[in-house]
Structure 1
Amino acid sequence: MTAPHPARGRPLACLRARLVLGLRATLVAGLAGLIAACGVPAEDLPRAVTPPPGPFPQQATATPTTAETGSATEVLYFSRDDRLVPVIRRVDQAPAVDAQLRGLLAGPTPAERDDGLTSALPGALSNAVVQLVDDQARVTVAPAEPESGRLDEPLAYGQIVCTLTARPDVSTVVFLRDGAALSVPRADLSLSTEPLTAADYAVLISPR
C-alpha cells in the first residue's frame, strides 16, 4: 500500500488549528462581556452617595479619669473597722490645704466605699475650715451639737490631723472654736489643746 503524502495532511491540520483559535477567541470575548455587564458603569460627573441610616457601632474607648492620669498625689485618711486608713489619690496638681480638707470632708468616692472605707467626720466637723500659719494648720470647727455623745471622735480628729500633716508644708494641727483652742481627744482618749501630729493617732493607723 502506498503511504499518504505528507503534504496532503497539512491543510487539515491548519484547519483544525484555526477552529480551535477561533473558539478560544469567542470564549474570551464572551467572558469579557459578562464581566463588563457585572461592573459599575463609569460616569462623567461625580455622584453623591447617601449613606445607609445609622446608628453605627463605634469602638469603645476608655476615658481616663483624673485619678489615673494626675501627675501629683494627695493623701487622705478615712476609716475602716475603727482604724485610720491612708488613701492616695492622683490629682492634676498638689491641692491647697483648704482644698485638701474639703476633699476629706466630702468623704470616700464610690470606689473607695466599695473597698470598705467610710468617714467619721459627718457632724460638727463637717463644716471645718483651715488656715495655714507658717507650718501649722489651724482648723476652726463649728459648735458641737447638744448631747452628741459620739464615740468615734478620736477617729474624726485623727482623720484631719493625719491628712493635713501628710502634707510637706504642715507639721502640726491645732483646733479652734470661737477663736479659742479646742480640747480634742487623742488616740488614747486623753484630751489636749496642744498642737497635734500623726504620732498622736499612730496606734489607730492601719497600713493600706
Structure 2
Amino acid sequence: MRRAWTIMTVAVVLLGGCGVRAQDEPHGVDLPRHPLTTPGAGPAVAAGEVAQVLCLVRDGRLVQTVRRTPSYPAVQAQLESLADGPTPEERSTGLGTALTGQSLTGRMLAGAEATVDVPDFDEGNARNDEILAYGQIVCTLTARADVGSVVFTRDGQSLQVPRADGTLTGGPLHSSDYARLLVPG
C-alpha cells in the first residue's frame, strides 16, 4: 500500500511539474529545419521553398545534398534532376553522379513504393559504379516522405539490382540497403 502511494505521488509530481500547461486545443509548433548535410544551423528556408534531397557521389561514396525549390517535385521530376547531375556549385565541392545521361522513368505504386524503369545499358559502356547508380536512386527517393521503398524494372519486368554489399535482389530496396556507402556531406 505504501509503495503504491509513493508511485502515485511521484507520477503526479512528474506529470504536474513538467512545465507544460494544459491546453484545450492542439496548436502547431515551428521546428527548425536544417540541411541533412549540415550538423549545425543551416541557411533559413525562404517562405514558399521546400528542401528536396538528392543523393550524389563523391570519392566512390553516396552523399546527400539538399536543393531548395519552390515546390516539392514529383518522383519523375526528382529522377530527372538526379540524372542531370550536380549543379556547378555542387560540382565545385567534388560531387558527381553515376547516372549522367540516364533516362529513368519513375512512378508511385500503391502505398509508399516507387518503381523506377531503367534502360538496357549498352554492353560496350558497362559501368563499374552500378551499385552507386542504384544507391543514388534509392537514397534519393526514400528521402521523400511519400516513398518507403523502390523497385526497379526494365520493360515492365522486375530487375535484379545490386545492394551495397554486392548481393542481388529483385525486391523492394530501402536506404538501409546502401547505408554503408552513405557519408556526411
TM-score normalised per structure 2: 0.72
Identity of aligned residues (%): 50
Higher Rg of the two aligned structures? 1
Segments of structure 1 that go 5 or more residues without pairing to the other structure are 1-66
User: Per-residue CA shift, 1:5-47, capped at 9, x if unaligned?
Assistant: xxxxxxxxxxxxxxxxxxxxxxxxxxxxxxxxxxxxxxxxxxx
1:129 maps to which residue?
Answer: 105
2:166 maps to which residue?
Answer: 189
**Paired amino acid for 1:101:** L
2:93 maps to which residue?
Answer: 115
**Paired amino acid for 1:131:** R
TM-score normalised per structure 1: 0.64
1:119-198 correspondence runs (5 A): 119-122=97-100, 126-134=102-110, 135-198=112-175
Q: Give SS of 1:127's match.
A: coil
**1:92 aligned to which of 43, 52, 70:** 70
1:80 maps to which residue?
Answer: 58
**Paired amino acid for 1:130:** G
2:182 maps to which residue?
Answer: 205
Q: Higher helix fraction: Structure 1 or Structure 2?
A: 1
1:12-91 correspondence runs (5 A): 69=46, 71-91=49-69
User: What count of residue pairs does the alignment treat as equivalent?
Assistant: 140
Segments of structure 2 that go 5 or more residues without pairing to the other structure are 1-43
1:103 maps to which residue?
Answer: 81
Do 2:118 and 2:154's aligned partners in 1 also have CA atoms closer than 8 Å?
yes
1:96 CA drift (Å): 1.2
User: Per-residue CA shift, 1:147-170, capped at 9, x if unaligned?
Assistant: 433210110000000000000000
